A and B are shown apart, each in its own frame.
Chain A
Amino acid sequence: MAFSSRHRVIVMSSDYSLTNEQNMVRDTVRRMAQEKIAPLAAEVDDTGVFPTAITDQFKELGLFGLAFPESYGGSDMGILSSALVLEEIGRVCSSSAIVCAAPIITGRLILEYGGDDQKNSFLPRIVSGDLTATIALFETDAGSDPEKISAYAEKTGKQYIINGRKGLVDLADKAGLIIVFARAKNSGVNKGISAFLIEKDTASWAIERTVEKMGATAVHACDLAFEDCPVPEKGRLGEEGSGREIAVRASGLNCILTAARGLGIAQAALDYSLNYTQERVQFGRPISSFQGIQFMLADMATLVETGRCLVYKACAEVDRGQAEGYYLGAMAKCFVSDVAMKVSTDAIQLLGGYGYMKDHPVERMMRDAKLTQLAEGTNYTQHVLLAEGLFDL
């Protein structure tokens, strides 16, 4: 039995579909991603070098500014539009999706928690793509748990002095701005965690090491050291002690955008599998004609569609200003990253030996998918937070 598209239109409430504008964004970015990024993706992964040509595409289409108000040069289309963009980019190249997402997350934190000076200073440059921005929260011993952060900020007169180490900071080698989370100390009084905007021009961080990674190789994850790094008082984001709240929001945003990227990976792995299994002939017939293969494909497709529903729902709630959106976003991150892992692993399986080789993109997808499970607090961390939400702890 087949549903006609007309039938589907009648059944679906308009609330459960994308707007014309969102469809247009998605289609435009899909075309760009397929034409401009996809041909470079294997080389980007191989060499670990990120081409500025890709960033230029992001700038040209205004992708950094979709989720920002027009007053800062953005197009005010909400986080859902950004998610659609990252999904499309994630389908062809994970590194590209992370490069696109990091400034959006940083910018949204400034939009929500920053003062007017900070917004006016940073947002137009983030939106235009001229300022690469990222976040330094993770510490090896603290994980992503802000309570355990050991980097500290001491206030002396009109400035803070920051000392400590941060691990695996994405894009730290390219960033002009990093939001650093540190424990604010003043005369021995612990005032909790605060967030600081550190600009490369005025203060610096030392890159101790760039780690070798299994995937997303063109996004360099750096271990950073901050030694007596001065930040003026006006460089603090939000109130002193509000760092935990900001970190939770950073995590919420990152979850949603990571889920969108993971969704793209899963969709791409499914698409590639569908094409391959219909072309590959064994035992005298396309392997897609075997029920064992069909079951796998059907399961993969079900997981991908379910994941998509979760991601879009979470984004829509965030755009409506509902706190529930971030909770759903954490669910989406756990669910979709697991889906991306499973679907990409199965995609290699469906390609057999060919899938294990670098001539096909599915092995890259599997390596990239694993990062979505680990990013922004592993799924273990997210599960704890989700459970706390359920019990209202």
Chain B
Amino acid sequence: MSQFALTDEQKEFAKKVLDLARKVLAPMSYDIDKKGLYPWDIIRKFSKFGLMGIAVPKEYGGMGRNLFDVCLAVEQVAGVDVSAAMWVGVNIGGLLPLLNGGNAEQKSQYLPKIAAGEYITGVAFTEPEAGSDLHSLRTSAVRRSDHYVINGRKCFISNAGIAKVYSLLARTGKGKEGITGFILDADTPGLSVGKMERKMGVRGSHTGDLILEDCRIPFEKRLGNDGEGAGLAMGMLTFTRPLIGAQAVGLARGVFEYTLKYARENKARLSPYFENVKYRLADMAIRIEGARQLVYQTAFLADSGHSNAGKFSSMAKCFATDVAMDVCIEAVSVFGPRGYTSDFSVERFMRDAKILQIYEGTNQIQRVTIAKALLGR
């Protein structure tokens, strides 16, 4: 048994994903960033490979990969293009409440379509006043005979306008126990896409408002029972936080390898301060390797349902994304003033990296969560 190592199958899988990512993304990444493209032909290639349904169980036509393998795959994609890693990652986020809280009928209706890449998913949790603070959720779900009537506004929703189906949280009662999960079809009357955001980076991942005006969601589309929404959110986050960590590790590794290559090929140009650059590279390598092992460890704990998985997922997300940000800022400096220009991709990665410290719970919230786990409440 090989402890603390990838299996041959995992190594081969990661390599295949990396090859695919390099092949289809590398020629497009500049345009994806500049023009904010969501290129359907690439999504189709990802679907064909299985990436869009990577976490969908095999019986529904997906790859049935566990979190560990999902992290491996996302890491490879993020090293080439962070927007693309979000296409895969957000699709898993939207899937998870359905996977964890959906009944057999709901699953057989949606999962095969998600697995095939026919349905792109989104997560409709965040609201203007309810970011990290789920308790402040305002979107209301009022029960009528055989349906709920939903009213509210969601913001910063990834895949807004692209997703065919969203996992939605709305309020059916008071407090944390008053939050309920729903499947929200994109063509539901009363649902519209509001303002689209203009962002600093990850511009290939579309972000916007969802406006719900008297949306009727039939009873059959409720996820689990009333009041189980907060649990669905936590279940999702335990899975997606390590995934963000994996995005960060991939991003940092991609930038690091690119920077290392540049340093090696430009030794003469960097010679007045090459000693300094060497130390910086060493620091990057130390922290990236640490983050990578923490993400893998966390994925393993989450896959095996360990009680520490929640704490570790916060640690992995927080540490890896801080590393990615620092690595990018330093990498641009190694490239010098040219690093500030679009001649090199490091400036794009630097802009992309910042979002990782923010979404799926800011790193400040992660620290609160970690401290709570350490100290008790």
Contact = CB atoms under 8 A, between A and B. Distances in A.
Interface of A: 138, 140-143, 145, 167-168, 211-215, 221, 281-284, 290, 292-293, 296, 341, 345, 348-349, 352-353, 355-359, 363, 366-367, 370-371, 373-375, 378-381, 383-384
Contact of A349 (B131, B156, B201, B364): B364
B10 interface: no
Nearest to A380: B273
A282 B136 contact: yes
B140 to A, nearest CB: 19
Contacts of A212: 341-342
Contact of A293 (B332, B339, B364): B364
A361 to B, nearest CB: 11
Which among A141, A145, A211 has the greatest number of chain B C-beta atoms within 10 A? A211
B342 A211 contact: yes
A211 B341 contact: yes
Contact of A143 (B329, B336, B358, B359): B336
Contact of B200 (A167, A211, A356): A356
B132 interface: yes
B367 interface: yes
Interface string B200-244: 110000000000000000000000000000000000000000000
Contacts of A211: 341-343
A348 B363 CA distance: 12
B338 interface: yes
A381 B199 contact: no
Contacts of A296: 364
Nearest to A211: B341
A355 B347 CA distance: 18
Contacts of A140: 338
Interface string B151-162: 000011000000
Contact of A367 (B339, B351, B363): B351
A214 B340 contact: yes
Nearest to B325: A345
A352 B333 contact: no
A353 B359 contact: yes
Contacts of B197: 357-359
Contact of B131 (A167, A168, A353): A353
Given A281-B129, A367-B351, A380-B333, A374 B339 contact: yes
B367 A292 contact: yes
A353 B358 contact: yes
Nearest to B136: A282
Given A145-B272, A168-B337, A293-B364, 15 more contacts: A143-B269, A212-B341, A283-B135, A341-B329, A353-B131, A353-B358, A356-B354, A356-B355, A356-B358, A359-B197, A363-B354, A374-B332, A374-B333, A374-B337, A379-B333
Given A356-B199, A357-B197, A375 B337 contact: yes
Interface of B is mostly: helix
B126 interface: yes
Contacts, number: 123
A381 B368 CA distance: 39
Q: What are the 6 A-B residue pairs with the smallest beta carbon separation, nearest first?
A: A212-B342, A363-B200, A380-B273, A358-B198, A282-B133, A211-B341
Contact of A378 (B336, B347, B358): B336
A213 B34 CA distance: 12
B172 interface: no
5 contacts: A145-B272, A167-B338, A341-B329, A345-B354, A370-B350
Nearest to B367: A292
B362 interface: yes
Interface size class on chain B is 35 or more
B29 interface: no
B340 A371 contact: yes
A45 to B, nearest CB: 11
A103 B265 CA distance: 36
Nearest to A382: B273
A213 B341 contact: yes
Contact of B338 (A168, A283, A358): A168
Given A283-B133, A353-B156, A383-B276, A378 B341 contact: no
A374 B340 contact: yes
A284 B133 CA distance: 9
Given A293-B364, A356-B355, A370-B340, A381 B273 contact: yes
A341 B343 CA distance: 21
B303 to A, nearest CB: 29
B252 to A, nearest CB: 15
Contacts of B333: 373-374, 378-380
Contacts of A142: 269
Contacts of B367: 292
B347 to A, nearest CB: 4
B357 interface: yes
Contacts of A381: 272-273
Nearest to B359: A353
Contacts of A281: 129
Query: Which of B126, B334, B342, B351 has the most C-beta atoms of chain A within 10 angstroms of its own C-beta?
Result: B351
A341 B126 CA distance: 28
A303 B259 CA distance: 29
A222 to B, nearest CB: 11
A384 B273 contact: yes
B92 interface: no
A370 B343 CA distance: 16
B277 interface: yes
A221 B131 contact: no
A352 B200 CA distance: 13
B277 A380 contact: yes
A8 B197 CA distance: 46
Interface string B259-276: 000000000010011001
A368 to B, nearest CB: 10
Contact of B126 (A290, A353, A357, A375): A353
A342 to B, nearest CB: 9
Contacts of B198: 357-359
Contacts of A138: 337
Interface string B345-373: 00100110011011100111001100000
Contacts of B338: 140, 167-168
Nearest to A338: B329
A150 B364 CA distance: 49
Contacts of A374: 332-333, 336-337, 339-340
Contacts of B362: 349, 352
Contacts of A359: 197-198
B237 to A, nearest CB: 15
Contacts of A375: 337
Contacts of B133: 282-283
B374 to A, nearest CB: 14
Contacts of A384: 272-273, 276
Nearest to B198: A358
A348 B354 contact: yes
